[in-house]
C-alpha cells in the first residue's frame, strides 16, 4: 500500500485476531491504513446498525414550528413569573440605570427582543430535531436545554458581568433565571417535537 490508500479486506480473506463476534454481519471486514495502525481492543464492539440519521427519519418542519411557538410561550411565562416571584431581581436591575433602559424605553424595543428570542428558540428546535432524529422526549429536551442554558450563562450573564458595570448579585440572578428558562425551552421542545 502506498500513500493514503485504504484497503478493505473481508475476514474470510484475512483471518486474524477478530471474529464475527466483534463485528456483526453488517460490519464484517477490516480497514488497513498505510503506516502504523493500532488494533481495536477486544472489549470494543460495534452494533453494525445504522444510526438514526441513516434510518430515513426526516425532520418534521411543522412540528419544529409548533415546538418553537410552545417553547416561546413557556420562555415568557416563566420569565414573567420569575420577575413576579422575585421582585428583588427587578430591584437589582434598577440599581444600574446607566446600564439598562428605563421601562418605557424598553417597551419600545421589546418587539425586537421577542423576535430575537424566537429565532434563538427555532435554532434550538432545529438542533433538537437534527440530534434526536428517532427518539426524543422530555429527557433529551432537558439535556439539550441544560447545555443551551449553560452556554447562555457563559456567553451572556458572565460575559455581561465582565463587560458591564453590574454587580455579582444581578449576575447570579441572571445566570439562574436564564439557565432555568433554557431548560424549560428544551423540555417543551422535547415534549412537542415528533419526527415525520
Burial of 187 (0-12, 13-18, 19+ CB in 10 A): buried
Nearest residue to 194 via CA among 111, 138, 156: 138
**Quick check: 4 and 37 in contact, CB under 8 A?**
no
Nearest residue to 127 via CA among 73, 186, 181: 186
Pairing outcome for strands 6-9 and 30-33 = antiparallel
pLDDT surpasses 90 at 148 = yes
Angle at 74 between CA 73 and CA 78, to 5 degrees: 120
Cell numbers linked to 47: 452494533
Question: For residue range 95-134, what is the model confidence (pLDDT) as tens digits?
Answer: 999 999 998 999 999 999 999 999 999 999 999 999 987 7
CA 114 distance to own-chain centroid: 20
Question: For residue range 24-77, what is the model confidence (pLDDT) as tens digits?
Answer: 444 444 444 455 545 555 555 544 444 445 555 688 999 999 999 999 999 999
d(CA 175, CA 113): 18
23 pLDDT tier (thresholds 50, 70, 90): very low
186 Cβ contact partners less than 8 Å away, ≥ 6 residues apart = 71, 124, 128, 141, 142, 143, 144, 145, 146, 148, 149
Question: For residue range 164-187, what is the model confidence (pLDDT) as tens digits?
Answer: 999 999 999 999 999 999 999 999
Amino acid at each position: 500500500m502506498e500513500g493514503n490508500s485504504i484497503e478493505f479486506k473481508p475476514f474470510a480473506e484475512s483471518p486474524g485476531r477478530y471474529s464475527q463476534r466483534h463485528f456483526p454481519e453488517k460490519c464484517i471486514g477490516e480497514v488497513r491504513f498505510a503506516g502504523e495502525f493500532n488494533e481495536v481492543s477486544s472489549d470494543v464492539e460495534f452494533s453494525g446498525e445504522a444510526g438514526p440519521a441513516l434510518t430515513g427519519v426526516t425532520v418534521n418542519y411543522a412540528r419544529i414550528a409548533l415546538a418553537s411557538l410552545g417553547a416561546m410561550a413557556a420562555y415568557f411565562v416563566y420569565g414573567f413569573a420569575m420577575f413576579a416571584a422575585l421582585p428583588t431581581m427587578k430591584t437589582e436591575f434598577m440599581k444600574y440605570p446607566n446600564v439598562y433602559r428605563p421601562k418605557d424605553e424598553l417597551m419600545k424595543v421589546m418587539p425586537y427582543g421577542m423576535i430575537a428570542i424566537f429565532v434563538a428558540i427555532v435554532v434550538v428546535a432545529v438542533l433538537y430535531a437534527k440530534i434526536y432524529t428517532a427518539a426524543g422526549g422530555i429527557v433529551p429536551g432537558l439535556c439539550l436545554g441544560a447545555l443551551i442554558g449553560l452556554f447562555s450563562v457563559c456567553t451572556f450573564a458572565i460575559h455581561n458581568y465582565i463587560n458591564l458595570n453590574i454587580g455579582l448579585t444581578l449576575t447570579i440572578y441572571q445566570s439562574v433565571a436564564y439557565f432555568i428558562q433554557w431548560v424549560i425551552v428544551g423540555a417543551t421542545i422535547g415534549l412537542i417535537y415528533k419526527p415525520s
